[in-house]
Structure 1
Amino acid sequence: MSFDTRNRSPHARQLLPRHTVQALTASPIRELANAAMGREDVLPFWFGESDQPTARFIRHAAMESISHGETRYTQNLGRPYLRHGIAEYLSQLHDTPIGMDRVAVTPSGVSGVMLAAQLLLEPGDHVVAITPLWPNLTEIPAILGARVSRFALSVIDGKWSLDVERLLQTLSSDTRMLLLNSPNNPTGWTIREDEIASILHHCRQHGIWILCDDVYERLLYDLSNTSAPSFLRHYVAGDRILSINSFSKAWSMTGWRIGWLVAPPELMDDLAKLIEFNSSCVLEPIQRAAMTALLDGENEVAVLRQRLARTRTLLVDQLKSIDAIELPDAGGAMYVFFRIEGHPDSMVLARQLVNRVGLGLAPGNAFGPEANGWLRWCHAIDPQRLQDGVQRLRQFLDHPPL
């Protein structure tokens, strides 16, 4: 006996999202951390955030705004005072005029990435991403149906490096967008000005959009530089450059979920529509806090930069004293990215470290297949806890699993 299933009740169909969403991979970092959260014996270094709370004066600005009843809808692109503040901040930072007509306030940096992708990408578009990379940057284009190609950084002379000549060979007129993050999460690789010039010249010739994740641009280990090299410094009218940024890292505001997007002014009307259909707007008390961070938070950024330079040196010196470890040099961010000889599977190793010695590190495979075998250690943490973590790593290596 056969059955005609064409008229089967909709209630009998499987409850499934679209195939592109089903194909997404859950974050291995979250998988590892969620399983160990609540364990008091675990030292967690897997997330990318400082162990310090947001500065009191920034928190106070939000509380004051709430007390004044500023809880209503705001403009899609953000309050004009904050857009103007971001534009002034960036203009001074990069020594180039950036008008508020190029600035949109977004509900987090990752929302800015999604908005930029929705703005520019069609299903089937080709996106090239410099990897290893925070997975949200590569998965968001995939969610929208784009094809993502990965271009891996190399380790040359003990330092994370980009083969610009080979990269340019992969970027042609059928490439819609180049994705890059500098300083890079997880490696800390930081682009040079001459590399920006070469890439921008090539992308101008081929009409390629450049989407920059600049969230870590202030977090350089060389304290003589106030910011990492930026495509924004090279922008001229007509360039296809977008810059994503956030208050999360430099101002220790990870939980606030507020960022910004810099784009050509020609895109702003359409961007405002997309923000309306995604989140409508950002809560004003959060915008007040962000503005206060810009106005009065430069000392906080400086203190964090100094602290990161110290904690990186401490952690790198400790790890390099262990023979089995390879640890390339890097220019910025808040991570040490390293691998241990004889441990090719990041997830297996990360689980063993948690289960055997209570050390929580991010597995490298979370950032792409080219990073399997590596581990990411966030060092925006109290120095004593970092030393305790290294001691746990030594304990693991002295007594490896059978």
Structure 2
Amino acid sequence: MEEYLNSRVTNLELSGIRKFFNMVAEYDDVVSLTIGQPDFPTPLHIKEAAKQAIDENFTVYTHNAGFLELRQAAAQYLYKKYNVSYEAETEIIVTTGASQAIDISLRTLLSEGDEVILPGPVYPGYEPIVKLCGATPVLADITKSSFKMNAEIISSYITEKTKCIILPYPSNPTGVTLSKDELREIAELVKGKGIFILADEIYSELVFDQKHTSIAEFLKEQTILINGLSKSHSMTGWRIGFLYAPKDIARHILKVHQYNVSCASSISQKAAYAAVTAGFDDAAAMREEYKKRREFVYNRLVEMKLEVVKPDGAFYFFIKLPEAYSSSLDFALELLKTQRVALVPGDAFSIMGEGYVRLSYAYSMETLKKALDRLQLFLKK
């Protein structure tokens, strides 16, 4: 019966990250730097809030968009952090993680034949959804611009079919982000055109050397802003995201959300309320630790004479392969087999990621040192 399934689904590939992760599981004694997940526990006060919600039987459906007090708190959180204002009643949707927010946004925006511009290399969670909508992903080559998709690059890819531009900054897999001036220039480029910005800002609290700026500050009327708590509060498994959009857009996205999941988990919503109120600055300590790790890893990679752009945020390095290698998968497999170190092949992040590997430093310093020692030995051999 497989032949009768939706061909858009059957033609999709599993995530290259997941494929390689499954390969890693076949080996013993592997030091893996593959997973983009904080290695810190969820803060205690957030877990206690979830327990209290269970004890108080807050185990029913909430409003489709999330219970109002959480949306009000999410509005205040965003305004205080990034100076962007949204109405809690009509412009905020609590989603089942940022991934679901991306899905319902693109399904609301896109029609058959539309084009979506996104950076290449890029996290593999966008292209499949674009294709499922019958639209075409257009990868903008950012390998020669320090992995920044700026206004000049974007303008060269805009056509009459362009419906959306995806701005995932800080970036997975590169860790690079955009400055306030760069975002302003992008806003000026598309302002007044029938083009939406989908701004995935899930790593906004993990920016090291500058304050994060949201493009919604300059172009709210055309922007769907996506954020959440997975990275900032180490809540990946709680599955809570926040979608912010002008009410005339949000009301249509809410319809897709309603038929998709009804509402986000009520228990997780209560935990999220604690995160954005009492846990307003929970990310600060984690951010400082990630910054120390970034400096350590960067210095080691430079010592190894590996070509790398120093990341501004998140917890990734996107490392150019040594000249002796042309295949990121071959490099990653040889490193895995000979030294038991796992890095993600760059081609998992689109065809434009070929020639690179991604290293996650969301691991302890002890783990990072062990992995980098083995990588250095591999390169010497």
Give the TM-score normalised by the residue count of structure 1. Answer: 0.90
In the other structure, the counterpart of 1:175 is 162
- 2:14 is equivalent to residue 26 of structure 1: yes
Contact 1:28 1:347 in 2 (8 A): no
Q: CA deviation at 1:38?
A: 7.5
The CA RMSD measured in Å over matched residues stands at 1.7
Residue of structure 1 in register with 2:113 after alignment: 124
Q: CA deviation at 1:97?
A: 2.6
Which amino acid is the alignment partner of residue 137 of structure 1?
Y
Aligned counterpart in structure 1 of residue 216 of structure 2, from 215, 225, 232:
232
Answering whether residue 33 of structure 2 is matched by residue 49 of structure 1, we say: no
5 Å matches for 1:362-401? 362-399=344-381
Out of 260, 271, 279, the position equivalent to 1:289 is 271
Q: Is the 8 A contact 1:307 1:380 kept in 2?
A: no
Structure 1 counterpart SS, 2:192:
helix
On the 8 A contact 1:337/1:377 being kept in 2, the answer is yes
TM-superposition CA deviations, 1:136-193 (whole Å, max 9, x none): 112211111101110021345xx44345223213224431111111111111121122
Question: Aligned partners of 2:25 and 2:96: how far apart in 1?
Answer: 26
Deviations 1:279-319 (A, max 9, x none): 11112110011111111223420001101110000001011
**Corresponding residue to 1:151 among 140, 147, 164:** 140
* Structure 1 match to 2:53: 65
Residue 260 (structure 1) aligned with residue 260 (structure 2): no
Write the distance in 2 (CA, Å) between the matches of 1:390 and 1:263: 42
Q: Does 1:271 align with 2:253?
A: yes
Q: Aligned in 2, Cα 1:96/1:179: closer, same or farther, shift over 3 Å?
A: closer
- Match 1:90 to one of 55, 61, 78: 78
Q: Counterparts in 2 of 1:179-328, with a 5 A limit?
A: 179-222=166-209, 225=210, 227-236=211-220, 239-323=221-305, 325-328=306-309
Residues 14 and 291 of structure 1, relative CA distance in 2, 3 Å threshold: closer
Amino acid paired to 1:132: P
Whichever residue aligns with residue 233 of structure 1, its letter is E
Q: 1: CA distance between counterparts of 2:308 and 2:2?
A: 47
List alignment gaps of at least 5 residues for structure 1.
1-12
Instruction: Please state whether the residue corresponding to 1:136 is helix, strand or coil.
Output: coil
Mapped to 2, the partners of 1:120 and 1:162 lie a distance apart of 21
Gaps of 5+ in 2: none
Instruction: Give 1:338 deviation, angstroms.
Output: 0.5
Amino acid at match of 2:212: A
SS in 1 for 2:140: strand
Between the aligned residues of both structures, percent identity stands at 28
Q: Is the 8 A contact 2:142 2:149 kept in 1?
A: yes
> What is the one-letter code of the residue matched to 1:374?
Y
Maintained 8 Å contact 1:94/1:232:
no
Q: Distance in 1 between matches of 2:315 and 2:339?
A: 23
- What per-residue deviation string (whole Å, max 9, x for no partner) do you get for residues 183-229 of structure 1? 1111112112222222212212322111011111111121xx4x422
Counterpart among 98, 103, 107 of residue 114 in structure 1 = 103
Q: 1:14 to 1:39 in 2, by over 3 A?
A: closer
Given that residues 104 and 262 in structure 1 are in contact (C-alpha distance below 8 angstroms), is that contact kept between their aligned partners in structure 2?
yes
**More deviation in 251-260 or 164-173?**
164-173
Tell me if the contact between 1:109 and 1:260 (Cα under 8 Å) persists in the aligned partners: yes
Q: Report how many aligned residue pairs link the two structures.
A: 379
- Give the corresponding residue for 2:313: 332
CA deviation map 1:317-376 (0-9, x unaligned): 0111013x1111231111011123122211122122222211111111111111112111
Shift of 1:42: 1.0
SS at structure 2 position matched to 1:392: helix
Q: How does 1:66-81 map to 2 (within 5 A)?
A: 66-81=54-69
User: Residues 165 and 197 of structure 2 are in contact (CA less than 8 Å); yes or no, is this contact kept in structure 1?
Assistant: yes
**Distance in 1 between residues matched to 2:78 and 2:111, nearest whole Å:** 30
Where does residue 141 of structure 1 map in the other structure?
Answer: 130
The answer as to 2:93 corresponding to 1:104 is yes
Matched AA of 1:116: S
Residues 58-105 of structure 1, C-alpha deviations (whole Å, 9 max, x = no match)? 111111111221111111111101111110011111224322121100
- Relative to structure 1, the CA distance from residue 163 to residue 298 in structure 2 (aligned partners, 3 Å threshold; closer, same or farther) is closer
Q: What amino acid is aligned across from residue 350 of structure 1 in structure 2? A: A
How far apart are residue 121 of structure 1 and its match?
A: 0.6
In structure 1, what is the equivalent of residue 337 of structure 2? 355
- SS of the residue 1:183 aligns to: coil
Cα distance between partner residues in 2 of 1:124 and 1:81? 40
* Alignment partners' CA distance in 2, 1:79 and 1:382: 36
The verdict on how the C-alpha distance between 1:246 and 1:220 changes in structure 2, with shifts beyond 3 A counting, is same
Q: Indicate the structure (1 or 2) with the bigger Cα radius of gyration.
A: 1
CA distance in 2, matches of 1:288, 1:164: 39
